[in-house]
């Protein structure tokens, strides 16, 4: 049984689940933990803030571990809280180190200078991404085109507005993996599945832009609503659902090629509008 992130001390910038050789699925978890290196203490925050989504993606780590185990797929998980530095942001993103997050002022980030941001990038952000690159290079070197799935979670409510989606797929211009996942999840008949909502998948220099879009690899980001995976048994059930639908996709030609689709982050266009029938669900 996995411990919750709140019980785990900081160990390293990333954690690797090796998987089986020849498995083309690579699972990423950018916001796996709320751990902080001891030198940073709690960044001046109360312990209760580390149980919130501002510190990590609740349930995402459990889903990642269970899916990796069930499919024998390699996985790379961040080893530090997004409060320290966000691994799913580019080095020049203004939200790379948050000073205010969902109403919480982060004292330990309030007055940091550029040198400290560079140091956090060097010690935590860069090693995480270097390991992802290393894994992708190894898979390509073995003759396999990696298919990347990034696992995240989102809050059931934003401010006072309830979010109706059970899960969502975020994607940029490359629709190959995301469309297959959306169709398969909707086919189950019991889910409201977001298509680039409640967030947009086009973000320049984020994790999937860097390792998926730029390299022409099939990729998608799945967001699962946190109240549906806040217990380990729930997260395992979601992993089982994904483990059932993903393997047939990996066998098809659509996900077996390197293709360069570009990015909407470059041309200013937003995600396609949501069809009217989806709004009514």
Task: Provide the greatest CA pair distance for the chain.
Answer: 51
DSSP 63-75: HHHHHHHHHT--E
User: Burial of 8 by CB count in 10 Å (0-12 exposed, 13-18 middle, 19+ buried)?
Assistant: middle
- CATH of range 5-263; options 3.40.50.300, 3.40.30.20, 3.40.50.360, 3.40.630.40: 3.40.630.40
Q: How far apart are CA 118 and CA 121, in angstroms?
A: 5
pTM for this predicted structure: 0.92
State the 10-residue block means of pLDDT for the chain, 281 residues long.
56 97 97 96 94 96 98 98 97 94 90 96 98 98 97 93 96 98 96 95 96 98 98 98 98 94 77 33 22
124-129's contacts with Cβ under 8 Å and 24+ in sequence apart are: 124/13, 124/37, 124/79, 124/80, 124/84, 124/85, 124/87, 125/13, 125/85, 125/87, 125/91, 125/96, 127/13, 127/14, 128/13, 128/14, 128/76, 128/78, 128/79, 128/87, 129/87, 129/207, 129/210, 129/211
Domain segments of the chain as ranges: 5-263
- Token readout for 169 is 């797929």
**Strand partners for 223:** 152, 168
């Amino acid at each position: 049984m996995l411990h919750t992130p709140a019980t785990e001390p900081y160990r390293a910038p990333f954690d690797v689940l090796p998987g089986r050789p020849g498995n083309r699925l690579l699972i990423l978890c950018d916001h796996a933990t709320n751990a902080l290196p001891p030198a940073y203490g709690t960044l001046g925050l109360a312990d209760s803030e580390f149980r919130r989504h501002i510190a990590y993606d609740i349930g995402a780590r459990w889903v990642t571990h269970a899916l990796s185990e069930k499919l024998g797929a390699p996985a790379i998980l961040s080893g530090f809280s997004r409060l320290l530095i966000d691994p799913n942001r580019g080095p020049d993103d203004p939200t790379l180190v948050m000073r205010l997050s969902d109403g919480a002022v982060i004292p330990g980030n309030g007055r940091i200078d550029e040198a400290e941001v560079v140091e956090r990038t060097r010690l935590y952000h860069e090693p995480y991404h270097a390991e992802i690159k290393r894994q992708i290079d190894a898979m390509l070197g073995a003759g396999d085109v990696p298919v990347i799935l990034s696992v995240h979670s989102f809050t059931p409510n934003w401010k006072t507005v309830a979010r109706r989606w059970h899960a969502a797929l975020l994607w940029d211009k490359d629709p190959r993996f995301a469309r297959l996942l959306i169709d398969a999840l909707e086919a189950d008949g019991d889910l409201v599945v977001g298509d680039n909502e409640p967030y947009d998948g086009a973000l320049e220099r984020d994790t999937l832009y860097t390792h998926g879009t730029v390299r022409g690899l099939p990729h998608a980001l799945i967001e699962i609503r946190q109240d549906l995976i806040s217990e380990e048994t729930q997260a395992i059930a979601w992993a089982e659902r994904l483990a059932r639908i993903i393997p047939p996709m990996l066998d098809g030609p659509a996900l077996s090629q390197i293709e360069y689709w570009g990015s909407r982050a470059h041309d200013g266009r937003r995600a396609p509008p949501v069809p009217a029938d989806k709004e009514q669900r």
